[in-house]
Structure 1
Amino acid sequence: MSSKNDSLIDEDIDYQTVSTGHSISIERPERLHEWLKAEDIEYIRHKFFSHPLQKLNVKELREVLDNLSIQFTDIEYNRLYLKINQNRDFLCDWNEFISYLIFGFQEDDPSTQKEALILPISTAPVVKKSEHRSPICSISLLRAQVDEVDEEDISKQLNGALEDSPEACGMWITASREGQIRFWSNTLEPLRTGVSTSIHLKMATWILQVQALSDVSIVCTSSTERELRFHETVASTFTLRIVIRSLPFAVCSMSYSFHPKGKTNSKLVLGDYGGNVRILEFTPFLRGPFQSKPGAALVELFWTDVLKGKLPLMSVREYPNIHSELIQHVYYSIRMNSLFVAAEYRNAKKYRARCPGLIIASGEDKTYFRIPMGVSCFSVSEKNNIVVTGGPDTFVRVWDVYISSKPSGILTGHNGGVVYIFVQAEEKKIYSVDYHKIIKIWHMTEYTLLQTFGDLVRILSSETDLCYMYHPLSRDLLVGGRKLISIKCCARIRVDLTDGNTHAAPVSVVLYNGLFRNVVTCGFGSYIIVWGPWAGR
């Protein structure tokens, strides 16, 4: 039993530890788990259970630690004992002691460290009227000069909020079937409009896709008239410059790849309804085939003329019948020098579930990724050498681009076909959108579900045929239908307001815990941060 003197010492321990009157020197933290070995823990356990009370008071526990050559100053040991003795009876039992060690081990174990409780999509979507007469059928992004960088270098170039300089993050381009083209700022403020129509047909056009050629300031549209129309957007204009007519099939999918510094040729990839892929390749130097020439306001030619080389500075490469179904998604990776082509194969009996849903073509070599019912969409993370696919079978698959036999991971949870996918390599997150407008966010390496976002069902309750486009710089997902919806996905830290480790909004409350020597701060941004000021954490 504790003596009267021990009780007096115990009272001194309590007041001396939480007192702020003494000067604080640099002391080592009370992290017993870093210094104790397995045999030391067994020795301490024996001391606990050999005691008549199976409990140790302040002096007895200190003697045990001294025998193991673990020395503390009076202040350090007093604070340690108070942390172990949770019920404050100044008699420490084995359960309290081992619990303190377990908490220390868990704190240092990387597998038990949870991510921040901030959801990837934590802000309300921004909803705007589309101002189109019919629903939006295609969205593209006319990138600005600052946006023409690799994704891994983006964070190094951001010094402030993108909203503070909308001219630095490019423009959204939306198109509707009747040929109306609208330009929007990154904050969805309307900038200007244009019209893409056929110069020969008297009937109304039907737009299928729109694609921005950012490095040459051109917007390309494809239509059911089997035409490609290239519009110039220099100096707030929207002027038709080149028309390519009579393509073998109407183009239903487009993608554009260019080098940020113009070191390689730019490539416009075209996928059509016949399962063919064609690549228009040109040099971006002096805007290539789109450079202004006096006396030539409009260049009009047939596709056969393009194949014969009658369009200067532009060459064509064809992949005929690369798929037996219409092309759903195309992408050319300049870093990998490879073409990615996806198609759906909904007739499972015809193809016996062995559908080459995704094909990677590198030169004459082709790699087939066989996926039941094919692929509707995919996203390539060139930095991590992975490709993420989604299709009508509702599964999201993560593949190594060099291993086509088996996916690295399969993500299940969607109740409808996956229609859009994008990857945030910096945050190690995968975003997938299904036909029912449900957005799911997954961890890229652990293959776990992080969040399910269903606000689009409420906002666009009666629409299903939507189009999507992700802005990797501002991290906005733009959804187009009869409305325009912008969703912030894992928003970047405002480095002009915070260094990333503190509050981005005014601090409302500051509290200090004298026992654990922690500072707790609360801010108007609804974030609570616990600081370890003496350890610099």
Structure 2
Amino acid sequence: MSSQNAFELNKGPQLGSKSPEGTGGVATDEDHQPTLLENQLCVSDFLKIQSAFEPSEPCQTICMSREEFMQRMTEVVGWGTNDEYGELFDKVDVAQDGFINWDKLTSFMLLALYENDERAKATVLPQWKDLEFLPTKHKDTIQKVIFLKSSSRYLTISKEGLLGIWGENLKLQETLPIISDATKLKHLWVTSLASLENVNKIAVAFTSKEICFYDLLSKGEFPCQYKLQGLKGTPICMDYWYNPLDANESILSFGDTTGKVQAIVFTTALISLFERPANAHEDEEVTATINWTELLSGYHKCCYTLQHNLHHGDWVRQVTYNASLDALISSTTSNTNTVVVAWREKSKTPLKMTSFNVAEGIHAFDYHSRLNLIATAGINNKVCLWNPYVVSKPVGILWGHSASVIAVQFLATRKQLFSFSKDKVISSDEGSTVSFWMIDTGQKIKQFTGCHGNAEISTMALNANETRLLTGSTDGTVKVWDFNGYCHHTLNVGQAGAVDISQILVLKKTILVTGWERYASCKTVGRQSVFI
């Protein structure tokens, strides 16, 4: 149905003069049907209508024809026209019996009000609270956040290998370093994290092309039980699934920088993930090294592998196994083979694969099993809905974002889809005020005043993670803010003199500041300013 047709269906005849008594009616969706009679009736009106249908004998039922209903309602209710009550009669008499009674009328009204209520719930936008930043000990990019259902805790892991353990109240409980023997701590780079909840373990991927498995039940630091080495590419995304009816059956899937999607299918996960060396004792906390070639050869009887390289060298940004499809779903930022669905076939070892092409690629995806839809977060600002069995084109396209969509998430309980993008603008003025705006609506969502006193803000910049805002002013200072309006640092570029700052460049550990005084100031964390 086109939007024009939908608009015409909502158009109706104009209401007649309504008494003041009807202003407290039961209308629940005035935006959708503002002129319908049934949306204007109030409780007192329904009591009057009920009295018109009350029989003189308890065992009788009063029925009215169309003409009788129009005449009686205008007399009893006291407002509205014959045409309006005639339309209401036609809606109630769907069987075209030529008459209605009180039961038919109330059934129609309850159904209409229920539909209006459901429609209103579906269109209500969430009322977000102000963004709150949690204090962390992470010193680098947080690569993954996961929730442990068994213990109601959150785990965060950052690029430098620091694991944060959070309570359900989002209070940081503990931090532990995740260390790999293959690399020195300063060269360590964690890429992803997955929770193996059925066996109380976590899997951590590193740029050293290895995946380590840690035991969450051990006291103190988490020991590394297994170390998977010999991967051809660096794993950058992981996902874990286990069968709730048989926890021995589970799948760890991961994608790497060479475009490969690989999965380890565990068949006896509750007993052991991999075969341990014959001379190793069960109570020893010794790391067992597993080589990828061993898994490919079938040496480990408790698991086997699945893999494909249909992404042809493009980095795999997201991968997941979906049990309802019995398939691995993966995505890249390429415009060819953007989303690949690799179906498992019980009788065949090779995976059966289909792919979708999305212009400019996507950042992420999500799958809704009941609706059988894959939602993709497009770099081209679009959210596309795909049927996994129809690869030619999406079944729907959702518009509204004015920047790249970075994530999508289905809310299955309400049949809703959340999409997230960087649709935000930051502005400042001569009065030293910083404002945050939503691009698509023009709504001001946050404002800081008096950031540099009475001095004018001359330039601004964001750090690489876009978690800190740097403001430069005509008073020669650079201030570092979070998005709650807290100033973390004040850098005195002008050395107690007024310097008109024109640009700020944020590097990894250095801040470069330039101005109209033909000086470049280099600010390094923990050191004094060095003028060039």
Indicate whether the TM-score tops 0.5.
Answer: yes
For residues 130-150 of structure 1, give each alpha carbon's deviation from its aligned partner in whole angstroms, at most 9, with x where no partner exists: 221223122223331xxxxxx
Indicate the structure whose relative CO is greater, using CA pairs within 8 Å and at least 6 residues apart.
Answer: 1
3-state SS in 2 of match to 1:289: coil
Normalising by structure 2, report the TM-score.
Answer: 0.59
Rounded to whole Å, the distance in 2 between the matches of 1:271 and 1:261 is 27
* 8 Å Cα contact 1:262/1:284 also seen in 2: no
Q: In structure 1, how many angstroms separate the alpha carbons of the residues matched to 2:133 and 2:285?
A: 42
Does the 8 A contact of 2:252 with 2:264 survive in 1?
yes
Match of 1:190 among 172, 179, 183: 172
Conserved 8 A contact 1:173-1:181: yes
Partner of 2:246: 262
Say if 2:377 and 2:405, in contact at 8 Å, map to a contact too: yes
1:250-289 CA distances to partner (integer Å, 9 max, x unpaired)?
A: 0011111112232662001010000001101113553422
How far did residue 99 of structure 1 move? Answer: 10
Question: 3-state SS of the aligned residue for 1:193?
Answer: strand
- Aligned partners of 1:262 and 1:285 also within 8 Å: no
Mapped partners of 1:241, 1:223: distance in 2: 16
In 1, the alpha carbon distance for the partners of 2:268 and 2:191 equals 25
**Aligned counterpart for 1:433 among listed residues 420, 424, 428:** 420
Q: Quick one: distance in 2 between partners of 1:357 and 1:455?
A: 34
Q: What residue in structure 1 maps to residue 352 of structure 2?
A: 365
Paired position in structure 1 for 2:302: 313
- Could you say if the C-alpha distance between residues 96 and 410 of structure 1 is closer, same or farther in structure 2, counting changes exceeding 3 Å? closer
1:121-520 aligned at under 5 Å gives the runs 121-144=127-150, 167=151, 170-202=152-184, 204=186, 205-237=188-220, 238-262=222-246, 265-283=249-267, 285-289=269-273, 293-295=282-284, 297-311=286-300, 313-345=302-334, 355-363=336-344, 364-436=351-423, 462=462, 465=465
Query: Gaps (5+ residues) in structure 2?
Result: 1-20, 22-45, 54-61, 93-104, 345-350, 426-439, 449-460, 468-480, 485-532
Native 8 Å contact 1:390 1:419 kept in 2: yes
Task: Evaluate the alpha carbon distance shift between residue 117 and residue 390 of structure 1 in structure 2; reply closer, same or farther with a 3 A threshold.
Answer: closer
Q: Percent identity?
A: 19
Aligned residues of 1:210 and 1:222 also touching (Cα < 8 A): yes
- 2:154 touches 2:167 (CA, 8 Å); kept in 1? yes
Of 53, 64, 67, which residue of structure 2 is paired with 1:40? 67
| Range moving further from structure 2, 288-297 or 391-400 | 288-297
| Separation (CA, whole Å) in 2 of partners of 1:326 and 1:252 | 8
Partner of 1:114: 120
Q: 1:99 and 1:436, CA in 2 relative to 1: closer, same or farther beyond 3 A?
A: same
Task: Report how far residue 333 of structure 1 moved.
Answer: 0.5
The answer to whether the 8 Å contact 1:129/1:483 transfers is: no
Partner Cα distance (1:222, 1:462) in 2: 29
User: Could you tell me which residue of structure 2 aligns to residue 30 of structure 1?
Assistant: 49
Give the C-alpha shift of residue 463 in structure 1.
5.4
Cα 1:428–1:241 change in 2 (3 A) is same
The 8 Å contact of residues 365 and 377 in structure 2, kept in 1 or not, is answered as yes
Q: What count of residue pairs does the alignment treat as equivalent?
A: 364
> What is the CA deviation profile of residues 309-358 of structure 1, one whole-angstrom value per residue up to 9, with x for unaligned ones?
4445222122134444110111101122111111111xxxxxxx6x2211
Contact 1:396 1:410 in 2 (8 A): yes
SS at match of 1:306: helix
How far has the Cα of 1:97 moved from its partner?
A: 6.7
Relative distance call for 1:416 and 1:262 in structure 2 (3 A) is: same
Aligned partners of 1:356 and 1:370 also within 8 Å: yes
8 Å CA contact retained: 2:74, 2:81: no
Amino acid at match of 1:40: E
Displacement of 1:412 in angstroms is 1.1
Q: List runs of 5+ in structure 1 lacking aligned partners.
A: 1-13, 15-26, 45-63, 85-91, 145-166, 346-352, 439-449, 468-481, 486-537
SS at match of 1:286: coil
The CA distance in 2 between the partners of 1:409 and 1:429, in whole Å, is 14
* Contact 1:138-1:175 at 8 Å conserved across structures: yes
Instruction: Specify which structure has the higher proportion of helix.
Output: 1
Matches of 2:482 and 2:182 in 1, distance apart?
A: 32
Going from structure 1 to structure 2, the CA distance change for 1:365 and 1:93 (only over 3 Å counts) comes to closer
Structure 2 residue aligned with 1:55: none
Give the 3 Å change call, closer, same or farther, for CA 194–324 of structure 1 in structure 2.
same
Residue 408 of structure 1 and its aligned partner are, at CA, apart by: 2.0
**Counterpart in the other structure of 2:37:** none
Larger mean CA deviation between 176-185 and 193-202 belongs to 193-202
- How much has 1:455 moved relative to structure 2? 5.9
In 2: Cα distance, 1:236 partner to 1:484 partner: 37
1:265 counterpart SS class: strand
Question: In 2, distance between residues paired with 1:320 and 1:33?
Answer: 74
What is the RMSD computed on CA atoms of the aligned residues?
4.3
Letter in 1 for 2:156: T
Q: TM-score, normalised by structure 1?
A: 0.58
**1:137–1:208 Cα contact (<8 Å) kept:** yes
Distance 1:133 1:380, change over 3 A: same
Deviates more, 1:429-438 or 1:182-191: 429-438
Matching residue's letter, 1:397: C
Tell me, what secondary structure is at the counterpart of 2:121? Answer: coil
